[in-house]
Chain A
């Protein structure tokens, strides 16, 4: 029988298939050996959310320590300076390498992208599983380095401190090395998938913008991560064999480490933010019921951000003894980043303009993203400007800036995307009311925590310091209280999502009236994704009414 899929909103008018990807095979072994991109995505999701939880606990400990300048709670010193250094290092390393980098691509992207392309799987399913196991191995190594002596270098592992401090720095850098290969494998897989596995009828400019974002991210993962790998391998060799590359005592150059590190880690910032932007490009047209404004511009801006990300690393070294000429060049190049970011921002707003906006939970996160990312992006211009950066460098202003981009941007978009695709992934609807309450509390808590830190930084509070002057205490205390509000909002959100899992399947195939292909299969999808090979009939985000329905 010919079964034609249309882009008409399907709202569960087809019977739910008895077998889906969740219950087709049973038992833990069937999960551990699966090559189904959807199951691997779910396993990644569980993994990265666990890492987010652990990293979040460390963040709360950092904030609690800074509640008072004496670090005392009920008359006792909470944690020592040494422990404090380890806690903020673990917070940063876990959040960056174990959570944000794999969060959107490896968890949500793995699940959604092949569906959006109408494919049965990613290009290399076994490589996909290998990538997950490398992530697990890296996570275990990172946890071991916490147990065996911890690491107190900060997540950037700057030399010469990282070559001289004791603790498990070598093990931690090896953990990040392994995680890097996990990321490379995901990237290779996704680039090949986008090139070769698009369903018939899907040209490059028929792909959903989420796929464009994930594709651009994958390119950065492939091209930047090997440099981090070799840098951390050199750092480990420097510690073990004293090879004299970064250690000035042996004729090495510690600033070389910074160059190498940021040659990866600045593109890595875009590995983190591009997928966040990609999610927003899905949420805004869906919940505004309007065609994406400037589709091609948004698609190209993702690719141009990926390319620009490789030539701005020097703005992390403005005060590290880089030449004046290099500083000026890197500063000018950094300003270019504002162009594609602005293109995206204005296209999202243009999409919402005169749209039929409905404020469901994912859309509330999308609007949070727009507000927070605007602040994060604009404060980036302060830091890209040489004269202001000299004053603001290594202060809480920088901390606030990148939390606005990384958490206010990526994490907020990730949670929005999680709500958006939750019905598809689990087959269950969460409670809309509590989802919205969670979104509001997260937004308030986030701003309490981090807006404060812009003031702290502009008044001169250095980052990573354990001690501070009494004059900073009110702002520090306010920020700490904000972190509790933020924690409460996230806890509520997690509880709301997890509570939905106890219900039987109740999600329709297309709860939001989305136009991309993932909404045209059942919720949850069957193991091979689609009953029949889907054929794209209309461009994504086409919300014009269908003249004749099939």
Chain B
């Protein structure tokens, strides 16, 4: 409740810096605001996946034996490989942001491309995993075919329990949604790589690199939870 009457008249628009939007007083305020926006968006992402995690947990409580047996049908080495790939990509992303902060355009572009390559490897591995599941009919309940090692029967129908298919329904939804985020991330990374190549970023303005970096780390983090959840349950 200050009673000052300072005149802090701002001109509309800032011709000095084309990235500076007219409704922010300073670049710092603009950067902080963008970061708040990104963190809020990431919170919505956590809750989006959160619903699926809760659903998975409830179904695992309902079909514990089926879920343990079903997870044996996953290819654990491929899952582990993808975990390593994404961890490396998080490292290259951090190096990219650091390069932007250091005004090193060449290294920024290089690290962004390395991150995109890691994402590409991840999706390629995922493609082979998915093809395997489709061949073996490791699919949601309606299309699931009993595998050797599946022991639980439905007590009413005597058929193979629905739990196996439910495991794969969640597997496809969660890894599918995650894969979609990887794909979106690749597009965003390519977009900022092009902008970086054009020399649009500097240590004064690298907001998009920073924000997409945050997004990329969250996508990696979700996989860090997905991998033990699906591949390593006991």
Contacts and interface: CB of A to CB of B under 8 A. Distances in A.
B50 A201 contact: no
Given A2-B7, A191-B40, A250-B162, A226 B48 contact: yes
A197 B25 CA distance: 9
Interface in A473-492: none
Nearest to B48: A226
A226 to B, nearest CB: 4
A222 B44 contact: yes
A252 interface: yes
Contacts of A187: 40
A72 interface: no
Given A188-B40, A245-B169, A535-B2, A197 B23 contact: yes
Contacts of A124: 33-34, 37
A253 B47 contact: no
Interface stretch (B8-16, B81-89, B99-107, B125-133): B8-16
Interface stretch (B55-63, B112-120, B183-191, B226-234): B55-63
Contact of A120 (B8, B23, B43): B23
A260 B51 contact: yes
Given A201-B2, A528-B12, A535-B5, A242 B140 contact: yes
Interface residues of A, number: 54
Contact of A251 (B2, B45, B161): B161
Contact of B2 (A2, A222, A237, A537): A537
B44 A225 contact: yes
Interface string A119-135: 11101110100000000
Contacts of B29: 196
B37 A533 contact: no
B163 interface: yes
A537 B141 contact: no
Given A196-B33, A227-B50, A256-B58, A250 B45 contact: no
A226 B55 contact: no
Contact of A245 (B34, B41, B55): B55
A533 B166 contact: no
Interface stretch (A79-87, A228-236, A270-278, A325-333): A228-236
A539 interface: yes
Contacts of A225: 44
Contacts of B48: 226-227, 229-230
Interface string B168-190: 01101100000000000000000
B1 A125 contact: no
Given A244-B166, A250-B142, A222 B40 contact: yes
Given A191-B36, A533-B10, A256 B55 contact: yes
A196 B32 contact: yes
Nearest to B142: A242
B166 A251 contact: yes
Q: Which of A4, A120, A263 neighbours the largest number of chain B CB atoms within 10 Å of its CB?
A: A120
Nearest to A191: B40
A243 B2 contact: no
A317 to B, nearest CB: 14
A182 B21 CA distance: 23
B52 interface: yes
A19 interface: no
A229 B41 CA distance: 14
A125 B33 CA distance: 12
A186 to B, nearest CB: 11
Contacts, number: 142
A120 B22 contact: yes
Contacts of A196: 29, 32-33, 36
A223 interface: yes
A190 B208 CA distance: 20
A230 to B, nearest CB: 4
Contacts of B173: 234, 237, 243
A537 B6 CA distance: 11
Contacts of A234: 51, 55, 173
A241 interface: yes
A158 B86 CA distance: 39
A219 B172 CA distance: 31
Contacts of B33: 123-124, 192, 195-197
A443 to B, nearest CB: 38
Nearest to B41: A188
Given A123-B37, A256-B58, A244 B141 contact: yes
B55 A250 contact: no
B45 A226 contact: yes
A3 B8 CA distance: 10
Interface in B176-229: none
A294 interface: no
A251 B36 contact: no
20 contacts: A4-B7, A184-B44, A191-B36, A191-B40, A195-B33, A196-B32, A197-B33, A201-B2, A222-B43, A227-B50, A227-B51, A242-B140, A242-B141, A244-B140, A244-B141, A244-B165, A251-B141, A251-B166, A532-B7, A535-B4
Q: State the 9 A-B residue pairs at the shortest beta-carbon distance, nearest first.
A: A251-B162, A244-B141, A120-B23, A230-B51, A243-B169, A226-B47, A121-B23, A226-B48, A4-B5
Interface of B: 1-10, 12, 21-24, 29, 32-34, 36-37, 40-41, 43-45, 47-52, 55, 58-59, 62-63, 140-142, 161-163, 165-166, 169-170, 172-173
